[in-house]
Amino acid sequence: MQNPQERTLVRAEAIGSYPLSLVQMALANSPFADTITPQYGVDLYRLIYMTTDYAGEQVTVSGLLAAPQTDTLRGVVSYQRGTNPLRADVPSTPSIQEGLLGAAIFGGRGYLYVAADYIGAGVSSEMHPYYHAESATTAVVDLLRAAYDWTTDQGIAWSRPLLLTGFSQGGHATMVAHRALQTLDDPRFQVTASAPIAGPFNISAISIPFSINGQAGLNSLYIAYIAYAYSVIYDQPLDSFLREPYAAQVPALFDGTHSSAEISAALPTSVEELVQPAMLAQLRSGEDNWFVEAARQNDVYDWSSLAPVRLYYGERDLDVGSEHAIFTAAHMTALGADVQAISAGETDHGQTILAVFADVVAWFDSFAPMNS
């Protein structure tokens, strides 16, 4: 992360302005039409800001800021997005799936809303450090700092509460950012509550067995993505994990220009065809190796949050699995934290966020009275 006293914001680019009528229209055509009511129009900005990558180098990245059309902020919401290997499909280039709906929901209810594109996406051309805790932390926390810079420049008072949420990969990013902000203890960025949705928190002991046993819906994509990222970050040969020709092909597949569907089509569906036999045997026997140790360094369940946390999960989630939320809530509760695992019911991975998001909004609203 940047020095707390330094500005991270490079510039803000206005990318759209939506009066209340258009925000209402967007939500009227969404799954939340009957549960979430906006009160404000929203102005959208692409924030270009500085952060630190996995190698400790300064890099330029981007993220979305959505400001409600009101003089007084209700609070700040930081949203972390899920897995998407396309560099251009990010919150700061808003679509309904990436950026617009979240901006309408939270900006429309008076919150300042921010969503990081992450390192390796948006304006950043670096490799995306998939499920690397420190890289997610810097991208999210330095975007909050950039948003603070923006409000200062605009003469807008920064407002608590600070509320964090995110889906899938963004559930993990939400937890690591929450943990880092608590450690940072900056009075500007005290977390009030967080609500990770369908996120993996114990990668080493839950995600790895789940994936190598072929249970994940996009199994080969997840395995190849994290193996590639960790091989670069921890300076290990990719062909010690992936079999050929995939070890040679995967870097180009994850260059930011291919969709999840394209990448999945280029990879075998069988774990045995994708992963080196020696690596697969080690993972299945529980033996330590460089990949397991890398995963362990990016686990995010073994800490005690000072703010309440809700971990939402789907009973039929075949991408992450319900065990993450259930195990993590029990473990963190034993450490003295207020953490609840909340079932979305019989939902798969993608359905889970749709099933619980209105509940997340209502919970966040309970910490932030509506502006008069």
* Record: fold of 9-201+304-366: Rossmann fold (3.40.50)
Q: How confident is the model at residue 213 (pLDDT cuts 50, 70, 90)?
A: confident
Provide the pLDDT for residue 2: 55
Q: How far apart are CA 132 and CA 299, in angstroms?
A: 9
Q: How far apart are CA 81 and CA 79, in angstroms?
A: 7
Over the stretch 247-267, which tens digit does the pLDDT of each residue have? 999 999 999 999 999 999 999
Provide the pLDDT for residue 218: 64
**So where are the chain's domains?**
9-201+304-366, 204-297
Mean local confidence (pLDDT), 236-245: 98
CB 311 within 8 A of CB 328: yes
Q: How far apart are CA 362 and CA 372, in angstroms?
A: 18
Please, what is the average pLDDT of the chain?
Answer: 94
Provide the pLDDT for residue 16: 94
Q: Which residues contact 334 (CB under 8 A, 6 or more apart)?
A: none
User: Looking at the predicted structure, is the pLDDT value of residue 301 above 90?
Assistant: yes
Q: What angle do CA 313, 315, 318 make, to 5 degrees?
A: 90
Q: How confident is the model at residue 372 (pLDDT cuts 50, 70, 90)?
A: very low
User: Looking at the predicted structure, is the pLDDT value of residue 144 above 50?
Assistant: yes
pTM for the model = 0.96
Q: How far apart are CA 140 and CA 272, in angstroms?
A: 36
Q: Cis link prior to 245 (omega < 30° from 0)?
A: yes
Residue 215 DSSP code:
-
Take residue 126 and report the two structure tokens written for it. 């670096």
Mean local confidence (pLDDT), 84-91: 96
Q: Which residues contact 322 (CB under 8 A, 6 or more apart)?
A: 313, 314, 315, 343
Q: Which residues contact 197 (CB under 8 A, 6 or more apart)?
A: 165, 166, 167, 168, 170, 171, 312, 352, 353, 356, 357, 360
- Positions of E strands within 69-154: 75-80, 111-116
Rounded to 10 deg, the angle between the 290-297 and 219-233 helix axes is 90
- Distance from chain centroid for Cα 229: 16
Alpha carbon of 122 to those of 130, 234, 326, 334: distances in Å? 15, 24, 33, 39
CB 112 within 8 A of CB 159: yes
Q: How confident is the model at residue 94 (pLDDT cuts 50, 70, 90)?
A: confident
CATH code of 204-297, in short, is 1.10.260.160
Over the stretch 328-349, which tens digit does the pLDDT of each residue have? 999 999 999 999 999 999 999 9
Take residue 291 and report the two structure tokens written for it. 């990949």
Q: How confident is the model at residue 56 (pLDDT cuts 50, 70, 90)?
A: very high
User: Looking at the predicted structure, is the pLDDT value of residue 76 above 60?
Assistant: yes
User: What is the DSSP pairing of strand 162-167 with strand 58-68?
Assistant: unpaired
Take residue 289 and report the two structure tokens written for it. 């190796």
CB 78 within 8 A of CB 114: yes
CB 365 within 8 A of CB 111: no
Q: How far apart are CA 116 and CA 49, in angstroms?
A: 10
Q: How many CA within 13 A on the CB side of residue 349? A: 19
